[in-house]
Amino acid sequence: MSDLLAHLNPPQLAAVTLPAQHSLILAGAGSGKTRVLTTRIAWLISTGQVGPQGILAVTFTNKAAKEMLARLSALLPINTRGMWIGTFHGLCNRLLRAHHRDAGLPAQFQILDSADQLSAIKRLLKNLNVDDEKFPPRELAGFINAHKEQGLRAAQAEAYDDYTRRRVELYAEYDAQCQREGVVDFAELLLRTYELLKRNEPLRRHYQERFRHILVDEFQDTNRLQYAWLKLLAGRDGQTSQANGACLFAVGDDDQSIYAFRGAEVGNMRDLEREFAVANVIRLEQNYRSHGNILDAANALIKNNRGRLGKSLWTDAGAGEAIRVFDAFSDIDEARFVVDETRELVRDGFTRNQIAVLYRSNAQSRVLEHQLFTAAVPYRVYGGLRFFDRQEIKHALAYLRLIGNPDDDTAFARVVNFPTRGIGSRSVDALQEAAQRANSSLYNAAAGLGGKAGTSVGAFIRLVEALRSDTQNLPLPEIIDHIIERSGLRQHYLGEKEGQERLENLDELINAATNFLQEESDTNANQDDVLDGGPLASFLAHASLEAGEHQAGEGQEAVQLMTVHAAKGLEFDVVFITGLEQGLFPHDNAAQERDGLEEERRLMYVAVTRARKRLYLSHAQTRMLHGQTRFCLPSLFLEELPEELLRRIGHVPAFSVKKPPYSSATYSEPASSAGGWRIGQNVRHARFGPGVIVSAEGRGPDARVQVNFGAQGMKWLALEYAKLTPV
């Protein structure tokens, strides 16, 4: 027994050995919550308080469930195979399989994944002759799932207008279709199980009496239905309210609740404390991951949130290094800084696998990927696709390829019916047969196609011709912008529940084109040089090359790129948090949502606490947005960090300095001046105060100066935006 409890700190020991009562364990980042959960189960079994069959343990991922079972097997000489340890969906599936008749399901019912559910909804709309442009399938799927996660069937759903009323009717039709076909989607697994236990009292009592201890991991991520399901099994369903019901042992961290967009309800933790009369909330505050400065920064940040249950992380590992803050001139400058620092870190002995670059929005990865690719630094996008591999980018590139070469059958097939325009598989098959007979491309074969197929495909051909004609004399970024708009891609993703991220990626494609032209211009000193095949062909070639096999292979050490959401649960020796600017992190959308800023702050808290040894924070003064340079303000989260924990650093990569070629036309403006300003000149800035210009580069809208503001440090300022006055 002493071996089981060894290596537990006092709060962990208190949590593991609690008597049989409802408990809430506030487990901070890196505080050993998995150890506590697993050891609690082992303690209950080894002391004879409950048998393995009397335990129900719920996790949010299969990985976490497997890890828990593996640790439990190492602690106890028992067979864990029959234990009820798994995800909400996995446990509900198990229960429904055992009681499929009572649940009104066939024995071999099938589970629809997200793609299957979408296909089923598309089929439903087609059968009912419903316009899928008015009722986009993906948006309808989100509507249905959101209601199920709240425990609402179509009959209980509220509808205040005709449009919502029709969506509710389609929800009912979808449920009926699934019932006929004997299939369930992910949201249905939980709702069907809850309804079964709610109405079937003997079955409910059976499981309430069986499971004497219910343990829940990541409790802050539970939604309303999951909490109701747990209450039901614990005997707090409002009908039985057994005094001798199961003991609920909930482990979570309200400061790491970052999934409100998925329905997670952080208020469930407060409700649990009240409804289950939790007498003793145990706080796990000792962190075994990060150095002190990182934890102090995280604590200072999160204390600005209201309504917290309250805890403060600490460590005995020492203060460690100061947090490095980098003020970049542009997003490209920021990405170059990340690359340069990564190289230095590797030279200093850090492994690439232990270096993570985090960003708030997926679209930010494009600039970072480009710089890593250019510098030949192996990287891997964790939990997502590389920029040029993303669906919406591939669609936009297919349209671009078509206006450049209408005989590109691969591009044609990809977008002929995307966004949907009534061209089904039969029409495409007929077109392919016509192309084979004529030995021509799909594009050319369309002219010989008759009937309905000929009409619908003909409309697509006219669209492509119009796009080609309209963009003939436009610069490359405007071509892409026009195509995204006129093809219907932008409108399509506007209608999707999670389309915002895809729209940001499409805007980033415009930025990629702008940067590409700039880089090509900088590379070619001779202004008479013409891009091979024109800007469009060159850009498409560039996109194909960057989309090639440049991501690190299996087993190869690589820098990890990911969104902050994807980083949850992970840890690294070195973490870069990039794009810390107002409107980006915190995101613009936060201002439009109730408690949105607090959710963004929790997200920043998660990002900070991923770092073990070294943390970098960076922001850019200018960032490309929709093909145009925008001036950015530093994130308010930076202002919430104590200055004594920070080390502000400057960085000017040598290769970023643009030297004009030697000629009589350009040499008239020396490198020591920019926009009429000169090195050594005293100036004043509205925010940073008095300073002196120490360096200058660029011309026209690209001109910038480096100013020493004394106590405020060295700053690179874009003269187009910075309001400097001579002193």
Q: Which residues are catalytic?
A: 33-34, 217-218, 256, 610
DSSP string of 88-136? HHHHHHHHHHHTTTTTT--TT-EEE-HHHHHHHHHHHHHHTT--TTTS-
- Class of residue 640 by CB neighbours under 10 A (exposed 0-12, middle 13-18, buried 19+): middle
Contact between 371 and 332 under an 8 Å Cβ cutoff? The reply is: yes
Contact between 706 and 694 under an 8 Å Cβ cutoff? The reply is: yes
As a residue count, the chain comes to 727
Contact between 343 and 377 under an 8 Å Cβ cutoff? The reply is: yes
Q: Could you tell me where the DSSP H helices lie in 355-424?
A: 365-374, 391-404, 409-415
For 126, 133, 452, the CA distances from 129, given in Å and listed in that order, are 5, 12, 17
Contact between 642 and 319 under an 8 Å Cβ cutoff? The reply is: no
| Cα(359)–Cα(577) distance, integer angstroms | 6
Closest CA to 240 of 267, 201, 207: 201
For 406, 417, 428, 510, the CA distances from 434, given in Å and listed in that order, are 16, 18, 10, 36
Strand extents, DSSP E, 594-703: 611-625, 628-631, 646-649, 673-674, 677-678, 682-685, 689-697
| Cα(294)–Cα(284) distance, integer angstroms | 17
- Class of residue 277 by CB neighbours under 10 A (exposed 0-12, middle 13-18, buried 19+): exposed
| Cα(544)–Cα(532) distance, integer angstroms | 15
Contact between 368 and 359 under an 8 Å Cβ cutoff? The reply is: yes
CA-based Rg of the chain, rounded to a whole angstrom? 29
419 preceded by cis ω (within 30°)? yes
